[in-house]
Amino acid sequence: MKKKCTYFVLCLCILGLITACQPSITMDDIVGVWRKNNFSPFMYLNEDGTYVISGSVGTDDPWDFGQYEFDGKTLTHHADNESPGCPEDTDIYEVEFIDADTLKLTTVDIQCEVVIEGETTWMRYSP
């Protein structure tokens, strides 16, 4: 019985180490063009910390744009005061990678009334 208990505790410790060593998400991981559920809209997360959300490929007719921050877990959109969607709003999302090319955003705090709250899935459209 003592061996079984020791083995069980050892397995729990190893499992804890494995889950604690999950790679963190970096800014480089999220930069690129993302397409929501294989349909529009498209979300452009640029290296310079700007974002654009557009209904089609390209950023000529954006729905929303501004600056974003990413801390490894939380994505925060700060809409520009000239953004047609939700000027000057701040929207916060929890970020999780389902796999290397699939991103799940869960709303945390949304000011924009046209944003759908809850979970949305985004597929990488281009790096």
Domains, the chain, in order of start with CATH, read: 23-126 (2.40.128.490)
Alpha carbon distances (Å) from 3 to 8, 10, 57, 99: 9, 10, 61, 38
Read off the pTM.
Answer: 0.78
From CA 105, how far away is CA 8, in angstroms rounded? 36
Write out pLDDT tens, residues 22-52.
Answer: 558 888 999 999 999 877 799 999 999 999 9
From CA 79, how far away is CA 66, in angstroms rounded? 4
- Helices vs strands, H then E, count in the chain: 2, 8
Alpha carbon distances (Å) from 63 to 42, 43, 59, 77, 79: 10, 10, 9, 13, 10
Write out pLDDT tens, residues 70-90.
Answer: 999 999 999 999 999 899 999
